[in-house]
Structure 1
Amino acid sequence: MTGTLISLISILIGIITANTFGYFNKKYSFGFIGNTLVGVFGSIFFIKSFGRLGFDPWSIMQNQDINIMLFSINCMVSAFGGALGLVIAKWIYKKLNK
């Protein structure tokens, strides 16, 4: 596994989480395409922000060996970023349309 593949998996997890969260909470949904875009940017933002603590893709693959604990933290942060990104985007949308 490479750092790029880990990054793509993290983005995919953010997309899936945002679409699932939007499906079950209709008041936060922007539709499939909107949820997908928010999931991508939410997961990237959170991974870039919190990845500096040591669970970015290149730290996970240090010495060409995968660290499962860091990878699971990365996946959880990406999922949290996708869902929280959807909530923040809806909050901004409501503020701008008042």
Structure 2
Amino acid sequence: MANPSFERKGVVKIADNLLIKLFEETKGDEWEFIKIDDIYSRSIISSNSKDETGLKNNVIQHLNELGDITINPKRTEISITPEGISHYKILKRIREEVK
């Protein structure tokens, strides 16, 4: 379960950005794994967190609990799941409607 000390809204926003980046970089290929640190650093806009590692872990845990990602056994890489692809499509549609 995600750590309650991090603001849920911030975790969800970063998680949504990460999911979009993950889909775009893998082109929706659920078998392609991306290094967590690389994709996370490209997904975060800004953070005031004093515990950046804890925040990153919360974001990854949030996506994992939703079923949007698969984490490799070493916990260093992630890939998108079919559920994550569906979630990505919803996020993209919402963001396009807001524009």
Normalising by structure 2, what TM-score?
0.31
Query: Quick check: which one's helix share is greater?
Result: 1
Normalising by structure 1, what TM-score?
0.31
Query: Quick check: which one's strand share is greater?
Result: 2
Q: Which has the larger radius of gyration?
A: 1
